[in-house]
Amino acid sequence: METLLSIFHILVALGLLGIILIQDPKGGGAGMFSSGGGGNSLFGATGAPTFLSKVTKWLGIFFAVSSIALTIITKKPETSVTDRLVPNSAGTQQMVPEAGETDKPTEETAPAPEAETNK
């Protein structure tokens, strides 16, 4: 689900980028595919502003919704190191181990047993 939504999000972002680059600026200057006259755009003088503005609006909406959806899906539980601090009788705070954490030494930290030597 997350991968599919990520692919959709990237495609919408690329589509939005392309549609924005195709449009003429509001001031009537030269757009990417216009001749600089302000009225001659890729889709003609009358149909372009309506069509491109609608596509831009909907791609923007899809981009915003997919951004929010990806944020909700990939949200990790909010935990902090300070949530595990517990005050003790001396007035200081002691760290409580999380579930699965132990104070036992691991193979990496445990001293290696001395090998027996045959003399």
CA 112 to chain centre: 44
* Domain extent listing, the chain: 1-16+40-76
For residues 76 and 22, give the distance between their C-alpha atoms in angstroms, rounded to a whole number: 38
Q: Model confidence over 77-103: pLDDT tens digits?
A: 777 777 777 777 666 666 666 666 555
Q: In this model, does residue 56 exceed pLDDT 50?
A: yes
Q: What is the pLDDT of residue 24?
A: 75
Q: pLDDT-based confidence at 29, cuts 50/70/90?
A: very low
Q: Say if residue 76's pLDDT is above 90.
A: no
pLDDT band at 7 (very low <50, low <70, confident <90, very high): very high
Give the residue-averaged pLDDT of 63-82: 87
Query: Is residue 4's pLDDT more than 70?
Result: yes
Which tokens is 28 given? 């009537």
